[in-house]
Structure 1
């Protein structure tokens, strides 16, 4: 019997893939409508995403098969959704991030900032969190965590070694010969055990601060983490007349202050949880702390010296990266005419270039720029022949590090959103959610954020936003609420995956290093989830209101059956 259960467990993914479609078949057979067909597709994909019986990207390709066969959309229309402008932005932004990572520019930035901030316990936590969050704004959360964690553990090893030397130096053998009472030996053992426990807890706190700040930092920019791009793509797909309301500049104005608040609150919480309330000691003003500080500082300084002076490639990548950010901010900022609104505007005054256009342009420049000062050098493999230096980016480098599965996963989400709209499922869901108009919008948002934060602990944050955002858009249309008032906070909440190692790759990387239990991560992440929801609620009800005009129901959100058409747009969110 035990062998039978073991066999079933071994083949569980095959059984899930075979049985789920059959188990859900009564829905489209009994209710023979396009809404039911689309619901069948979405439920099937949601369960496969949650169980990960198939790779996420493979499940994301289901609409290409199901929607044409069910009469929801033509195959040509479905396939277009898999490579929209948002996917181009993702690819272009990631190519720039790959260049930064390939030439070790991110490591130089990290070590330089740590040298400036210092290595006292509380400041060391803050330093690692600031550096990790900043890097995570531009390169992937996983790559940032994988780079910062070894640096952090090298510093911790040096702290342990220096503290051991200090303790051994304080011992006086002559004094021990004179007084060898068992009481003093017990006291010494207790002190050593306490020191070991403190070092272990500090190691746990530093590890968690790295993975948490990687997730928090990603929310600050539109390209920082994939759910942000899912939101932009869904808004542009569901509301094509929105006028590019979600762009790099508007997102940064909304999310960057939220990230700063959440990061500081997370730092305070982790400091209290793992270092205690003795702030004088936390900031390194205790006995013997100076030796440890100098030793850890020397580790970082040595690592920084090993990088050597900045190469031509690093300087070039730095300049191109700064140009990219400036072009993103000034393309269509909203509060003053940008270069996209003036030089590259269409007949309606809207920018014909997008954030994806800028990202691809800078990426192409990196494929053209040489990685060394232009000149000819000897080819080491072929003596006597001259060779030009390689470009800053090569296709092999990009192909090895580009997560093409995420591109397909994004496209699958956009296809689901378009299928929900075409089949009428979005409209049906909106009608069923109209009773929510009697609930205060702020309370609705808090409940939705908590629901999304719980859901994202068990499944991919990309899959979470892909499933929830079309439903939230329909709900907002049904109750005459600004769609972004519901969609923005839930997108941020999808990044609040702090409780479980499987919730997000940064958590898994930190957990694999050892020294942490699931209970440690769950205890630290539970309150951090609550803090995150409160910070998001604060942002969506304050400075986000003027940025996105959340206090009115926008004309571009009207649907054909929206009851809001019967009356002029009214205030839905209290003004800040």
Structure 2
């Protein structure tokens, strides 16, 4: 009997994905059995099924993202043509172009030069080192994905922390090296058995691929890589040895030796060494310090993705919703968004740094005359050499791209796109794809040696274009469109109108909190796909400017700090630093409260004047009238 139960348990453990998938369909089947005549019930079945599959992932996210292609026609919610069209919407092409341009930046090492230049000039005080890391991580995440930014900063943080507490780092990595061979074997075995399920991100730190957004799928593992898990998917990420830490590079594992090693290493008069004793309490504080330094990187990357319309998944979903529902008649454009979001991002980073400084860093005494950690950064910056043509060309093209986006059709002056007929005016996708093409025309070494590749090579582009992420966005767009055409978003929005007696600011806070905590359990793009159409409908139902709800909810979807599964940046830091889930809860909650408060305050201080939120524009009234008619 015991043997039979054990065999059954083993069978369920191996086959749980199939059982779970079928069980979810059966649980949701009453929506079809008893409500098939109502398109809202049929759409709710699709939305709930895909949401559960995306959150638990019994099958890969990319496969789930393709469900609308066959489910919408079968359930008579859309034709096949209408179901397929969202997968290559303009917003998705902007995402593809942005990924390719980010790959060019990483290929040129431009982002590393910027990071090291800033860090080497911030001094050697521990609190200033943290502020420098948080600030530059946030800035780089404005332009490239949060996963790529986090993976870039981790080896640099490794080098700095090694100089702050070298003996401890060496001891920890000695322990890791003993188990590394076994871990690599396990990873390779896992790769053999799971190529059809798991995706990886491969390459060095400066060749990292985002998945954003959630944004998390490729498929193979190699020696030197370690595994992270994001929303059920395993990822393999290799941290490079560019910081000169071949024997110290941090790999996945639990840093238990942090709490088991004595850390009295102040033998150099100028070294940046924590003054710690050999008692367990002091060792625990050292471990906590290291963890919070790593957490500050992922949180800053997540905050940075809110700053430009092309930097984060929820921002692209917002662009899609505005385009589909209001046909780009809104006051949101690249320049307006940057003017609104950048001050909020800077303030959020500053407040988070103050919280970390007074709750965590003040417990540690650091020599005020130390310079060894700063010397490491100085040395690594010198190793980059002088600016190369490759870097100069990429930065010129990148600045040109941003300027073209900003002044394509701004609200306050006549943009360059107005020289074209209105019907054929280029939009953001046309701009970024044109600049991507230019990357391939210009050689990276025009003065030799020859032959010279372009500023980006196609094999690197292929490594960066994670199709599961692109499909994830397309599937989200298809679901968002279906909720509109079926009337589901209107139905859910009308349910919320029962609380329209509350002040608008209270509704903003409620919706931001809902989105901010949902994004901890599902990807930020998925959360935005589900929530944005609903809050837009709420705004239409009560007759206010929809941007009053859409903007804060979009930003709240990116504020994922508490759980490692919420975003690849969190998962990467979680595995790299050997964190426990509890290590992220308290800092994450503090950052969550701070970020949501800044979002609401920034909306009232800057959002209302910049986007004209105090009035209900014509495009919003038209949507409101169509809602009443339907």
Task: Give, in whole Å, the separation in 1 of the partners of 2:300 and 2:286.
Answer: 21
Runs of 4+ in 1 over 3 A off after TM superposition: 161-165, 167-170, 188-199, 558-566
Which of the numbers 459, 463, 466 marks the counterpart of 1:400? Answer: 463
The Cα shift of 1:161 comes to: 3.6
* Contact 1:248-1:355 at 8 Å conserved across structures: no
Does the 8 Å CA contact 1:38/1:425 hold for their aligned counterparts? yes
CA deviation after TM superposition for structure 1 residue 489, in Å? 0.8
Higher helix share: 1
Q: 2:584 aligns with which of 504, 508, 521?
A: 521
* Correspondence for 1:20 among 24, 30, 46: 24
Q: Is the CA contact (8 Å cut-off) linking 1:198 and 1:275 kept in structure 2?
A: no
Question: Taking structure 1 as reference, are residues 245 and 405 closer, same or farther at Cα in structure 2, changes over 3 Å only?
Answer: farther
Which residue of the partner structure matches residue 474 of structure 2?
Answer: 411
Distance 2:353 2:119 in 1: 16
- Tell me if structure 2 keeps the 8 A contact 1:68–1:75: yes
| Matched-pair contact (CA < 8 Å) for 2:490–2:534 | no
Cα shift at 1:247: 2.2
Tell me the equivalent position of 1:346: 422
* 1:288-367 equivalence runs, <5 A: 288-290=367-369, 293-341=370-418, 343-346=419-422, 352-367=425-440
Report the CA distance between 1:345 and its aligned residue: 4.7
1:47-95 alpha-carbon deviations (Å, 9 max, x no partner) = 1112112222211111111111122211111211111110111111111
Q: How does 1:130-141 map to 2 (within 5 A)?
A: 130-141=135-146
Work out the CA distance in 2 between the residues paired with 1:509 and 1:418. 33
The CA RMSD over aligned residues, in Å, is: 2.4
TM-score normalised by the chain length of structure 2: 0.79
Is 1:476 the counterpart of 2:539? The answer is yes
Q: Distance in 1 between matches of 2:320 and 2:301?
A: 23
Alignment of 1:123-202 (within 5 A): 123-161=128-166, 164-167=264-267, 190=277, 196-202=283-289
Q: Look up the SS of the partner of 2:371 in the other structure.
A: helix
Q: 2:446 maps to what in 1?
A: 373
For 1:273 and 1:9, the matched residues in 2 are separated by 42
The secondary structure found in structure 2 opposite 1:220 is coil
Q: Establish whether residue 543 from structure 1 lines up as the match of residue 548 from structure 2.
A: no
Residue number in structure 1 paired with 2:224: none
Given the alignment of the two structures, is residue 72 of structure 1 paired with residue 77 of structure 2, yes or no? yes
Give me the whole-angstrom Cα distance separating, in 1, the residues matched to 2:414 and 2:9.
66
Q: 1:40-79 alignment to 2 at 5 Å?
A: 40-79=45-84
Once the two structures are superposed, residues 131-181 of structure 1 have per-residue CA deviations (whole angstroms, 9 ceiling, x without a partner) of 1111111111111111101111111111224985535889xxxxxxxxxxx
Aligned-partner Cα distance in 1 for 2:44–2:413:
43
- Whichever of the two has the greater Rg, that structure is 1
Distance, in Å, in 2 between the alignment partners of 1:189 and 1:475 is: 55
Q: Which one of the candidate residues 86, 107, 110 is aligned to 2:91?
A: 86
Cα offset, 1:424, TM superposition: 2.2
Kindly state the Cα deviation for residue 537 of structure 1 after the two structures are TM-superposed: 0.6
Q: CA deviation at 1:198?
A: 4.3
Q: Where do residues 107-122 of structure 1 align in structure 2 (5 Å cutoff)?
A: 107-122=112-127
The runs of 5 or more residues in structure 1 that have no matched partner are 171-187, 378-386, 567-576
Instruction: Kindly state the Cα deviation for residue 244 of structure 1 after the two structures are TM-superposed.
Output: 5.1
Q: Deviations over 1:373-424 (max 9, x none)?
A: 256x5xxxxxxxxx53111112111011122222111111111121122222
CA distance in 1, matches of 2:436, 2:268: 55
Matched with 2:316 is 229
Q: Please tell me whether the aligned partners of residues 264 and 277 of structure 2 are also in contact (alpha carbons under 8 angstroms).
A: no
Structure 2: gaps of 5 or more residues? 168-262
TM-score norm. by structure 1 comes to 0.86
Deviation at 1:200, TM superposition (A): 2.7
Q: Is the 8 A contact 1:117 1:127 kept in 2?
A: yes
Distance 2:283 2:27 in 1: 54
When residues 161 and 550 of structure 1 are mapped into structure 2, their CA distance, relative to the original with a 3 A threshold, is same
2:326/2:623 contact within 8 Å kept = no
Query: Is 2:356 the counterpart of 1:270?
Result: yes
Alignment partners' CA distance in 2, 1:133 and 1:327:
22
Q: For this pair of structures, how many residues does the alignment match?
A: 525
Secondary structure of 1:388's aligned partner:
coil
SS at match of 2:561: coil
Query: In the superposition, relative to structure 1, how do residues 399 and 560 fare at CA in structure 2: closer, same or farther (>3 Å)?
Result: closer
Task: Write the distance in 2 (CA, Å) between the matches of 1:43 and 1:120.
Answer: 50
